[in-house]
Amino acid sequence: MKIFAISGLGVDKRVFQYLKIDHELIHVEWIKPKNKESIIDYSKRLIIDYNIENEEEYGFLGVSFGGLVAIEISKLTKPKFTILISSVEIRQDLSGLFKLAGRSKLIELIPEKLFKPPKAIVQYLFGTDRRELVYAILDDTEEYFVKWAVRELINWQNETRLSNLIKIGGSNDKLLQQKGENTIFIENGAHFMIVDKAEEISEVINLELRGFG
């Protein structure tokens, strides 16, 4: 079965190389968002680009911001399951700071060039010692995409809970604090745990997917 894997904000397929999943992972490449395009319209374009609706059996795996996109695509298609890693399920799961930022609309006044934070801050928020990988990904991140993604994150309005959801969160996630009784917690997992805790996460995913046939 195919699993369409959607990486986090500014992150690429390099984060999936450490997973050992019993199914085929297909990395969904980010496409350039249109001016003020909504995450819903963006998700619709990804569905078309990857011909997802013509697949017989498939699932989604979304990491961080990619989890939001995975949820929006799942609402528009019929996956067997949706996996979230270091992400949020509904708007209520976002921190008060993110919600306040969305209501303030100040993000529109911030120039794109300021959307590439200092590497030391990123490393702290990601909670990882893998500096080289984090820095390489950050260097390849385009500011216009980060601004678009941050705007869609803080303004996300989803209130739909998916019935076929597998939600995996880290107990030490500083960026998107994990919530919900349906969360499978990875002890001492931080925001970059898809790399740092890849073996443990792989075991959880493979075990959970056995229940989906």
Q: Average model confidence (pLDDT) for the chain?
A: 91
β-strand partners of 166? 83
Percent of the chain with pLDDT over 70: 99
**What angle separates helix 96-104 from helix 143-154, to the nearest 10 degrees?**
110
CB 160 within 8 A of CB 110: no
Nearest to 88 by CA among 189, 5, 191: 191
Domains, the chain, ordered by start: 2-212 (3.40.50.1820)
Look at 105-109, 126-130, 160-164 and tell me which has the smallest mean pLDDT.
105-109
Question: Residues 130-157: what's their mean pLDDT?
Answer: 88
For residue 116, pLDDT beyond 90: no
- Name the more confident of 202 and 109: 202
CB 187 within 8 A of CB 171: yes
CB 20 within 8 A of CB 199: yes
The distance from CA 157 to its chain's CA centroid, rounded to whole angstroms, is 16
- pLDDT grade for 117, boundaries at 50, 70 and 90: confident
pLDDT digits (tens, 9 = 90+) for 69-96: 999 999 999 999 999 999 999 999 999 8
Q: Is the whole model's pTM more than 0.85, yes or no? A: yes
For residue 129, pLDDT beyond 90: no
Interior/surface letters 18-57, b for 16+ CB within 10 angstroms, e for the rest:
ebebebeebbbebeebeeeeebeebbeebeeebebeebee
Q: What pLDDT is attached to residue 118?
A: 81
For residue 139, pLDDT beyond 90: no
Burial class (CB in 10 A: 0-12, 13-18, 19+), 120: exposed
pLDDT digits (tens, 9 = 90+) for 2-15: 999 999 876 678 89
pLDDT digits (tens, 9 = 90+) for 10-68: 667 889 999 999 999 999 999 999 988 999 999 999 999 999 989 989 999 999 999 99
Token pair listed for 6: 């959607």
What is the maximum alpha-carbon separation in the chain?
49
